[in-house]
């Protein structure tokens, strides 16, 4: 997330210097659905201004929020994969140690 967010902020500052503003048509939805991440985005605008002297448009708070949301989703996906691998390993151990028939297409196996 850090690299993509840094790239985004750098390009946003450069666009601002060039007089280009990208409207975010999803800004209201992002603000509503991801209010905490949006607040972080607003705070990030203050930090960017402090270090660059450039005040990014309010729409950038939504873009920053989406970077945060995507990073959190990536972490969730990673953890889900780890859990699936762990469950698979546990299933094999149960089969071998307790000689339990764990047929994968049975309902009790999927639970």
Q: What is the CATH number of the domain that holds 86?
A: 1.10.1790.10
User: Which of the four pLDDT bands, split at 50, 70 and 90, describes residue 12?
Assistant: very high
- SS3 at position 34: coil
Asked if 27 and 62 touch (Cβ cutoff 8 Å), the reply is: yes
Environment class of 65 (CB within 10 Å of its CB; exposed 0-12, middle 13-18, buried 19+): buried
How many domains are there within the chain?
1
- What is the three-class DSSP state of 26? coil
Question: In this predicted model, what pLDDT tens digit does every residue of 27-74 receive, in sequence order?
Answer: 888 898 889 999 999 999 999 999 999 999 999 999 999 998 888 876
pTM of the predicted model as reported, rounded to 2 decimal places: 0.65
Give the structural domain span for 89.
Answer: 2-110
């Amino acid at each position: 997330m850090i690299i993509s967010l840094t790239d985004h902020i750098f390009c946003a500052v450069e666009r601002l210097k060039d007089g280009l503003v990208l409207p975010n048509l999803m800004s209201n939805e992002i603000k509503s659905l991801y209010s905490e991440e949006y607040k972080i985005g607003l705070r990030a605008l203050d930090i960017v201004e402090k270090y660059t002297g450039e005040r990014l448009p309010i729409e950038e708070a939504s873009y920053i929020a989406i970077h945060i949301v995507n990073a959190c989703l990536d972490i969730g996906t990673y953890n889900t994969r780890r859990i699936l691998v762990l469950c698979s390993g546990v299933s094999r151990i149960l089969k071998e140690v307790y000689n339990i028939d764990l047929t994968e297409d049975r309902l009790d196996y999927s639970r």
